[in-house]
Chain A
Amino acid sequence: MSASAQGPRRGGGIRRGEARAGWLFVTPAVGLVVVFLVIPIVLAFWVSFSDWNGFQSPLNPRVNFVGLENYAAITVDPGLDQQNFGTSVRNNLWYVVFVVPLQTIIALLLAVQVNRAVLRGRGFFRTAFYFPSVTSTVAIVIVFQFLFTASGAVNAVLAFFGISGPNWLNDPNGIFHNIAAGVGITSPPPALEAAGPLGVTWWDWLAGPSVAMSSLIVLAIFTTSGTFMLLFLAALQSIGAEIDEAALMDGSGPIRKFFSITLPMLRPTLFTVLTLGLIGSWQVFDQIYVLGGATAGGTISTPAFLAYNTSFDELKWGQGAAIAFILFVFIILLTLLQRWILKEREPGRRRRISREPDAAAGSVGADPADRALPSGAGTHEGSRS
């Protein structure tokens, strides 16, 4: 190195100037985080307590502090705003209830099948299942809209079996309501007519995901199961063959082996996948935006979309920011819970076979894994799951 010539001239300790360089190196990254993440969040926090209407700066003196008014409007004050928020929470809750278990089970099924030692073309299958995870949500939504349109491919397949499919993406009926209607219950029993939490009646809370939302549930499973499959695959490969053989010696069949050996050993990964799914499913935004939140009678709107819509379209910035903060706190709590549980179990996990990865992965992040998720390293990871 030519640098060696200057060495003696410079003098000083070999760690000289390191502190300065250290700060210099982290400054761009830290600066970007402070300017485009920390300060904006503080600013939005202020907006959520103000009556700013979108004109001029939110910091101009004519903007008033309104206390908890914005939060009250969506949570406790009866009215349309409260109902919209309640409905969006309902929609997202059902979405989570279906997406998280289904995507986990399917990811596990894919991983177990792909992991089979005898399998040829493992790479092909892995690629096929993972590909939807790397494509843009916008493209996937277009494909799904094409498949799920009234005269689309899905209904064509259903027609083959003699079923006349619904107009998927425009059907606002809850699937549990449909089932109830199937047995003759078309109007709410008196007990369920009363208003439940957030201004939505118990009958509506129990509607289940609408048919339109069900299509989005399928979309979410389609795009995330590949990613989670990879997490399971990594864990399965670390289990190793001896255990398999031991189980075989003991004469346990595949089902027994799966439930009493494989599954318990996958528990850390299972936990990671479930919590990542849980955190991601509350952030669904992109596909709702592309489809337009008003389709299917507002039954696909989620809090993330509602926050955007309330601010940018209805110009009720305070209220939109309030919704975003409620969501923010909720997701942070989920994340902290995940990290805490992973930390709790770490010392106890010193078994030989399972490597230490999961605890580490969980404690730092939710995210690195998340970043590798479909929407990638951008700012909206997880928003599609």
Chain B
Amino acid sequence: MTTKTPVDAPSEPRDAAPVATRADAASAIPKPTKTAKRRRSIPLRVRSGMWLSYLILVGLALVYIYPFIVSVSASFKTDAEATQNPLAIVPETITFAAYERLFGDVPFGLWAGNTILISVIVTLGRVFFDSLAGYALSRLKFRGRTIVFVGFIAVLSVPGVVLLIPRFLILQQLGLYDTYAGMIIPLLSTAAGVFIMKQFFDSIPDSVEEAARIDGAGSFRTFWTIVLPMARPALVTLFILSFQGSWNELGHFIVSRQSPELNTLTTGVASLVSGQLGQGNQFPLQLAAAVLMTIPVAILFFVFQRRIMNTTAGAEKG
């Protein structure tokens, strides 16, 4: 790492920050004379460390972003150009052929419709059932509560991939295989969601509900009108996780259906990759599909990015 900088940049945050702004605005080249005049205390080494740090970050950010940029661009290229000139950002000839094919030759609209339908129902279901159960486990005293909670904790550690065969077996037994019900119902609640909600309800004081209770409101009424509105932050978190999770879900939809009409975006687009369409000259089509299926999650991500990123951090905090 920054071997040549004996003094680390963050050590003088307040002093160094304006320098960053200034140089940032000016150009990529630091201006030693100017900064030296303003802040004699910042040695050259600190500044060079800072620039090295920027350089590393910009390089890394390029590695992380460039694949997406090239993909979007290639989806507007002709098949031949996408293959011959994969690195170019601006297509020589911009064509919407891939997108047209996606809605012509390929039932992309149907897949998208299925995914939207399933994701909306699953998200609403998870938010409702998980907060209901989380509330009960946090607030209501009933016999067996501890056992139920321990059960949920145990379920948390069951790895998703080993459920593929079991899920198929039960859906077949119940006659739900290859139906919307079979694709939706098993996803309607997750132990993790229950856990997140329970943790949240544990953190808010129960004085408010006590008042409602003394007023004689029933448990569900208290939950629905008093507690749930207070749980907005946790609900939003759960909403984001559920929507993103069900939108991107692949495994369950592989084992719960087989009819082409029930394809979701994930299974449908996956079939484009492994499918008979032939590889190599299909990149614009596949990439167009990938781009379109990413847009909703990307929008959600950019709208709620602060919350999403704090969520993961929050998970760490238990």
Contact = CB atoms under 8 A, between A and B. Distances in A.
Residue with the highest number of chain A CB atoms closer than 10 Å, among B159, B286, B302: B159
A146 B153 contact: no
A357 B312 contact: no
A11 B192 CA distance: 37
B159 A331 contact: yes
A40 B65 CA distance: 41
Majority-rule SS of B interface residues? helix
B65 A368 contact: no
Interface string A338-361: 000000000000000001111111
Contact of B10 (A117, A227, A355): A117
Interface string B1-30: 111011111111100110111001000000
Contacts of A129: 60-61, 64
Interface stretch (A171-179, A188-196, A199-207, A250-258): A250-258
A66 interface: no
Given A33-B191, A222-B64, A368 B196 contact: yes
Given A25-B140, A32-B186, A43 B166 contact: yes
Contacts of A370: 192
A93 interface: no
A143 B249 contact: no
Interface string A113-140: 1111111110111111111101111110
Given A127-B305, A367-B192, A321 B161 contact: no
Contacts of A26: 132-133, 136-137, 148
Nearest to A57: B173
A102 interface: no
Given A36-B186, A136-B266, A290-B273, A375 B248 contact: yes
Given A113-B53, A365-B156, A139 B269 contact: yes
B248 A137 contact: yes
Contacts of B185: 32, 36
Interface residues of A, number: 148
Interface stretch (A67-75, A79-87, A229-237): A229-237
B11 A234 contact: no
Given A146-B71, A290-B273, A19 B10 contact: no
Given A146-B283, A152-B86, A328 B159 contact: yes
A375 B161 CA distance: 12
A7 to B, nearest CB: 3
Interface string B288-316: 01110110011001100100110111011
Nearest to A368: B315
Interface in B128-169: 129-130, 132-133, 135-137, 140-145, 148, 151-153, 155-169
A17 B220 CA distance: 11
A339 B311 CA distance: 21
B216 A10 contact: yes
A253 B245 CA distance: 43
For the residues of A in contact with B, the DSSP-based class is helix
B42 to A, nearest CB: 10
A371 B67 contact: no
A217 to B, nearest CB: 15
A131 B68 contact: yes
| 9 smallest beta-carbon distances between A and B, as pairs | A360-B318, A376-B245, A7-B216, A22-B142, A40-B166, A377-B245, A21-B219, A117-B13, A25-B136
Interface of A: 1, 3-4, 6-10, 14-15, 17-26, 28-30, 32-33, 35-37, 39-41, 43-44, 47, 57-59, 109-110, 113-121, 123-132, 134-139, 141-147, 149, 151-153, 156-157, 222, 226-227, 230-231, 233-235, 241, 244-245, 248, 253-255, 257-258, 269, 272, 279, 282-283, 285-286, 289-292, 304, 307-308, 311-312, 317, 320-321, 324-325, 327-328, 331-332, 335-336, 355-361, 363-372, 374-383
21 contacts: A7-B214, A19-B142, A43-B170, A118-B17, A119-B20, A134-B244, A134-B301, A142-B273, A149-B280, A231-B312, A258-B1, A311-B165, A327-B159, A357-B318, A363-B318, A375-B249, A377-B190, A378-B251, A379-B160, A379-B187, A383-B251
Given A22-B140, A291-B273, A369-B312, 20 more contacts: A4-B216, A14-B210, A21-B220, A25-B140, A35-B170, A37-B155, A128-B65, A137-B248, A230-B312, A244-B8, A244-B11, A358-B318, A365-B318, A371-B315, A372-B308, A376-B247, A377-B244, A378-B190, A379-B251, A382-B159
